[in-house]
Amino acid sequence: MQVQKVKKLLDDLYYTDYNVPFLEDDPVQIPHQFNKLQDKEIVAFWTAMLAWGQRKTIINKSKELFELMDNQPYQFVLNLDDTGRKRLANFKHRTFNYTDTLYFLEYFHRYYNAYSSLEEAFLRDGKFDGESSLIQFHNQFFDLDFAPKRTRKHVATPSRKSACKRICLFLKWMVRNDRKSGDMGLWKCINKSDLFIPVDVHVMRTCITLGITSKKQVNWSTVEDITEYLKVLDNSDPVKYDYPLFIYSRYSKILDLIP
C-alpha cells in the first residue's frame, strides 16, 4: 500500500472514535490508579514487564502484586525489609516468579534511595540516546552482584536483538501524553519523537499487511524499520500510531465495513 494511503488509514483510525474497547481492558489503566510520580513509575514499569498473555490476566496479576504492597509501592521499596520480601513470596505470573520479584524489589530499593525519578536511569548525560539508552538501562538494572541470570529475560535489551516490546511500551506510557491511548506524559526529558514503536505479533501482522515492513521476524531491526516508516507519517510523534495499529489488528474486519 502506498505511503499516503497508509497515512490516511492510520490517521483516520487515530482521530476518529470508532467506539471500540481499549482503555477499559488495557494494562495502562493500572498506573492511572496512583497519584505519586514514583508510584506511577514503579507500577507502570512492573505492569509493562508483566504484559504478556491475556490482558485481563495481566491486569488482575498487576493489581494482586500492588495490593501486596498495600498499594504504596514507592514506600514499600524504600523501606524494604525481610517482612516485605516474604509478603510477595507467593506472587507469580507465568514465568515471572519469586526470584524475579525479589530482584525487582532490590533494584527499586537501591535506585529510589539514590534517585527521585526512574527517568534518570534512561538518560545519558541528561539526554535520551535511543538504542544506547535502552542498553544502558538494561546494564544498570542488572549491575547488582547477585542479579539472577533468569531475570534478565524479563527486561529486554537491543544488544540481544530483542524487540524490547515491553520497555518500548513503558516509555510510551511515561513520555507521551494522550487521553486516547492512556499515555501519561509524566517524563519531560525524553522527546516523544525519539520513542520506538512497541511491536508484538499483532502489530507485526498489521505492518506486513499494510506494507510498512517487509521483514518477517519480530526483533530490534524490525522495530527500527517500522519506527522509521512511522516517522515518515509523523516525524514528531511516530509512536502515536501504536493505537491505530492496535485498532486495525483487532478490528480490521469491522472497520472494513465502515463507510
Instruction: Give 51-90 pLDDT, tens digit per residue.
Output: 988 999 999 999 999 999 999 999 999 999 999 999 999 9
Q: Which residue type sits at 42?
A: I
Residue 222 burial class via C-beta count within 10 angstroms: exposed 0-12, middle 13-18, buried 19 and up: buried
Contact 166, 51 (CB under 8 A): yes
Is the pLDDT reported for residue 174 higher than 60? yes
Q: What is the pLDDT of residue 253?
A: 53
Is the pLDDT reported for residue 259 higher than 80? no
Q: What is the pLDDT of residue 256?
A: 53
- What's the mean pLDDT in 105-126? 96
Is the pLDDT reported for residue 127 higher than 70? yes
Confidence of residue 134 (pLDDT cuts 50, 70, 90): very high
Instruction: Give 149-159 pLDDT, tens digit per residue.
Output: 999 999 999 99
Contact 183, 28 (CB under 8 A): yes
- What's the mean pLDDT in 186-199? 97
Confidence of residue 17 (pLDDT cuts 50, 70, 90): low
Q: What is the pLDDT of residue 96?
A: 97
**CA R_g for the chain:** 18
User: CA-CA distance, 87 to 101, in Å (whole number)?
Assistant: 11
Q: What is the pLDDT of residue 53?
A: 87
Q: What is the pLDDT of residue 216?
A: 92
Is the pLDDT reported for residue 112 higher than 70? yes
Is the pLDDT reported for residue 221 higher than 60? yes
User: CA-CA distance, 103 to 196, in Å (whole number)?
Assistant: 26
β partners of residue 183? 178
Q: What is the pLDDT of residue 20?
A: 59
Task: Give the residue with greater pLDDT, 233 vs 202.
Answer: 233
Task: Give the residue with greater pLDDT, 256 vs 173.
Answer: 173
Instruction: Give 87-100 pLDDT, tens digit per residue.
Output: 999 999 999 999 99
Is the pLDDT reported for residue 243 higher than 50? yes
Q: What is the mean pLDDT of the chain?
A: 93
Is the pLDDT reported for residue 18 higher than 70? no
Confidence of residue 258 (pLDDT cuts 50, 70, 90): very low
pTM for the full model?
Answer: 0.94
Cell readout for 63 is: 493489581
Q: What is the pLDDT of residue 15?
A: 87
The 3-state DSSP class for residue 256 equals: coil
How is 123-178 classified by DSSP, letter by letter? -BTTB--THHHHHHHHHHHT-STT--GGGGGGS--GGGT---HHHHHHHHHHH-EE
Domain that holds residue 39: 3-255
Domain total in the chain: 1
